[in-house]
Amino acid sequence: MSEKITALDLPAPELSDATKAYFAKCEEKLGLVPNVLLSYAFDEKKLRAFTDTYNDLMLGESGLSKLEREMIAVAVSSINHCFYCLTAHGAAVRQLSGDPVLGELMVMNFRAADLSPRQRAMLEFAVKLTEEPAKIVEEDRRALRDAGFSDRDIWDIASTAAFFNMSNRLAAAIDMRPNAEYHKMAR
């Protein structure tokens, strides 16, 4: 690693064979090892917890599409001004949607984007959960149900928003920097 990816100087331990294989898979599929993973690599137990949760939320079975989950990541990260996640997940929105403009709108202000009523309800809920979690009430869940979401989908929306709120705070605390490659993806 030639450039510093966080403001912390954590030891770089010898990686297990499983972690080396996981990083090789990332390199093969993405063309890079995301800096968020390299940031966690100082403690494989923390890395595993992060990747297990991320992979379940973002890639696992859900009534939410991969694009919708990435949209939640970007909307939450926009509220939190998380440079790492806006860059990385903004690229994912551009890739999954095939629309670079949508990716930029999501980063700046999802409300300016031409979204379906379903997507808009989902993102309004994720943003309210980010900004005012104590003010979430049954009416908010009903709005999601009215937009076509099941109770399981509501769990997934909330879990995804909560995960990115945690990730955004950690990224801010340690000044995590995105891989340079993300800036050029799907433009």
Q: Report the C-alpha gap between 167 and 64 in whole angstroms.
A: 20
Query: Do residue 40 and residue 73 come from a single domain?
Result: no
Which of 59, 91, 112 is the C-terminal boundary of a domain?
Answer: 59
Which of 30, 59, 88 is the C-terminal boundary of a domain?
Answer: 59
- pLDDT given for residue 127 in this prediction: 98
The CATH number of the domain holding residue 41 is 1.20.5.810
Flag whether 47 is in a domain.
yes
Query: Do residue 85 and residue 165 come from a single domain?
Result: yes
In terms of DSSP H, where are the helices of the chain? 17-30, 35-40, 44-59, 66-80, 83-97, 100-109, 117-131, 138-146, 151-174
Could you tell me the sign of the dihedral formed by the alpha carbons of 147, 137, 52, 37, in that order? Answer: positive
Tokens linked to 184: 């050029």
Flag whether 140 is in a domain.
yes
Query: Do residue 51 and residue 85 come from a single domain?
Result: no
Count of beta carbons in the 10 Å neighbourhood of residue 42? 15
The CATH number of the domain holding residue 135 is 1.20.1290.10
Tokens linked to 51: 């990747």
- pLDDT given for residue 70 in this prediction: 98
* Per-residue pLDDT tens listing for the chain (187 residues): 457 899 999 988 899 999 999 999 999 999 999 999 999 999 999 999 999 999 999 999 999 999 999 999 999 999 999 999 999 999 999 999 999 999 999 999 999 999 999 999 999 999 999 999 999 999 999 999 999 999 999 999 999 999 999 999 999 999 999 999 988 888 8
Query: Do residue 88 and residue 53 come from a single domain?
Result: no
Query: Do residue 75 and residue 44 come from a single domain?
Result: no
Query: Do residue 32 and residue 122 come from a single domain?
Result: no
- pLDDT given for residue 165 in this prediction: 98
pTM of the predicted protein model:
0.95
- Which domain covers residue 23, as residue numbers? 17-59
Number of domains in the chain: 2
Flag whether 90 is in a domain.
yes
Query: Do residue 55 and residue 81 come from a single domain?
Result: no
3-state helix, strand, coil in the chain (%, to 5): 70, 0, 30
CB contact at 8 A, 80 and 165? yes
- pLDDT given for residue 1 in this prediction: 42
Contacts of 161 (CB under 8 A, 6+ apart): 72, 76, 125, 126, 129, 130
- pLDDT given for residue 3 in this prediction: 76
- pLDDT given for residue 36 in this prediction: 97
- pLDDT given for residue 12 in this prediction: 82
- pLDDT given for residue 4 in this prediction: 85
Flag whether 54 is in a domain.
yes
